[in-house]
């Protein structure tokens, strides 16, 4: 809607990102101060955004009224302020975390100093709970807790909910490592590096074509027969989306001599797409779509499969479901989206973008 309105006004777009549309909205409403333009634009936006805008005279950070994506304010030793989507960025530059930017808040840094304005008030917040599970780095702090600790607790709870008769716990590195450590700690089972990750290979889930993804996966992970052979292994990962990667990992572990492969996932089944900024598969491509856990286990070739419950997730996170978005697991979208109709990031990509000729 906003895209079409701006096109009718004569604005041309070079890409399909929502940040380009936000920039166009701000520039078309740029008054005396950038802060006023941002304050006028924020109520026009619906969805998730954590945005920083920089001009010659100011830096302005603003966050959607639900607080779906993280955004934090930090301070350097000399007193200067900085913004980052994740608090771990402050550690690198020697800054301290001051606080998270509040949902619906705008903070500006200029010659007038730091100024805060609550532009939009919301009845509820909806921080994406998948940030705690996977999206954010483990050294980031969200809602006052370091995610490395949170993910370890998820692994401990996963053992409590779904123990396995096994000889060894291994992680799918790197995102499954904290939960695997927690699972091993709670179970008393030994943990070892049964899969070695090549960190110079691109993400497999964004590579076009199944054959290229398969080749990329074999380059990305190398199982160690000396550790795995003859053992019943528990494989801990943070999530399963399509299931293609997981199925191939199970196959590689069996080829390396694993006697049994038991999968434990430190998140519930992903059954719905994300409409708030994350490129997930279409629902029909998701391995959990219209499948039971037993059917998923058979599909990927595992001896057993268990997911962490939604209750277990929130126990580890330490805050209730009412202040989070868990739509990718439950289909309950905080903005009231219809899970059968919303296309998320694909809406803009389905519009033919006509390049400017001048």
Please write the tens of the pLDDT for every residue from 131-176.
999 999 999 999 999 999 999 999 999 999 999 999 999 999 999 9
Q: How does residue 214 score in pLDDT terms, banded at 50, 70 and 90?
A: low
pLDDT digits (tens, 9 = 90+) for 332-344: 999 987 766 655 5
pLDDT greater than 50 at residue 111? yes
Q: With 50 as the cut, is the pLDDT of residue 354 above it?
A: no
Q: What pLDDT shows up at residue 58? A: 95
Only one residue has tokens 């006028």, namely: 40
Place of tokens 């590579």: 207
Whose structure tokens read 């499954």?
176
Give me the percent of the chain exceeding a pLDDT of 70.
85
Given a contact cutoff of 8 angstroms between Cβ atoms, the answer to whether 232 and 260 are in contact is yes
Quick check: 325 and 133 in contact, CB under 8 A?
no
* Mean of the per-residue pLDDT values of the chain: 90
Domain boundaries, the chain: 2-125, 148-321
Q: What is the mean pLDDT of residues 92-98?
A: 98
Give the count of beta carbons closer than 10 Å to the beta carbon of residue 43: 11
| Cβ atoms within 10 Å of 222's Cβ, excluding its own | 12
Domain 148-321 CATH (choose: 3.40.50.2020, 3.40.50.920, 3.30.70.980, 3.90.650.10): 3.40.50.2020
The pLDDT of residue 291: 96
Structure tokens at 340: 């059968």
Looking at residue 358, its pLDDT comes to 37
Confidence of residue 205 (pLDDT cuts 50, 70, 90): very low
Query: What are the tens digits of pLDDT across the range 45-75?
Result: 999 999 999 999 999 999 999 999 999 999 9
Give the architecture-level CATH label for domain 2-125: 4-Layer Sandwich (3.60)
């Amino acid at each position: 809607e906003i895209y079409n309105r701006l096109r009718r006004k004569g604005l041309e777009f070079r890409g399909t990102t929502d940040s380009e549309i936000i920039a166009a909205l701000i520039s078309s409403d740029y008054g005396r101060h950038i802060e006023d333009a941002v304050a006028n634009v924020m109520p026009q936006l619906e969805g998730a955004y954590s945005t920083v805008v920089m001009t010659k005279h100011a830096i302005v950070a603003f966050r959607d009224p639900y607080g779906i994506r993280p955004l934090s304010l930090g301070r350097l030793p000399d007193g200067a302020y900085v913004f980052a989507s994740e608090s771990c960025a402050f550690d690198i530059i020697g800054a301290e975390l001051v606080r998270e930017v509040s949902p619906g808040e705008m903070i500006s840094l200029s010659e007038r100093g730091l100024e805060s304005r609550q532009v939009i008030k919301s009845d509820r917040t909806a921080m994406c709970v998948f940030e705690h599970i996977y999206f954010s780095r483990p050294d980031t702090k969200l809602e006052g807790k370091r995610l490395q600790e949170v993910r370890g607790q998820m692994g401990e709870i996963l053992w409590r909910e779904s123990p396995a008769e096994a000889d060894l716990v291994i992680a799918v590195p790197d995102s499954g490592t904290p939960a695997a450590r927690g699972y091993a700690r709670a179970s008393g089972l030994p943990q070892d590096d049964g899969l070695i990750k090549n960190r110079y290979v691109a993400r497999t889930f964004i590579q076009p074509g199944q054959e290229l993804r398969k080749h990329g996966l074999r380059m990305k992970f190398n199982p160690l027969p000396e550790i795995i052979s003859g053992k019943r292994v528990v494989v801990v990962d943070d999530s399963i989306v399509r299931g293609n990667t997981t199925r191939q990992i199970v196959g590689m572990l069996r080829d390396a001599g694993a006697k049994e492969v038991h999968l434990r996932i430190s998140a519930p089944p992903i059954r719905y797409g994300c409409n708030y900024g994350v490129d997930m598969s279409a629902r029909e491509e998701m391995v959990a779509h219209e499948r039971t856990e037993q059917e998923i286990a058979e599909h990927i070739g595992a001896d057993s499969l268990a997911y962490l419950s939604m209750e277990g997730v929130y126990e580890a996170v330490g805050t209730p479901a009412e202040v989070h978005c868990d739509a990718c697991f439950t289909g309950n979208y905080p903005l009231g989206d219809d899970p059968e109709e919303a296309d998320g990031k694909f809406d803009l990509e389905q519009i033919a973008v006509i390049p400017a000729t001048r």
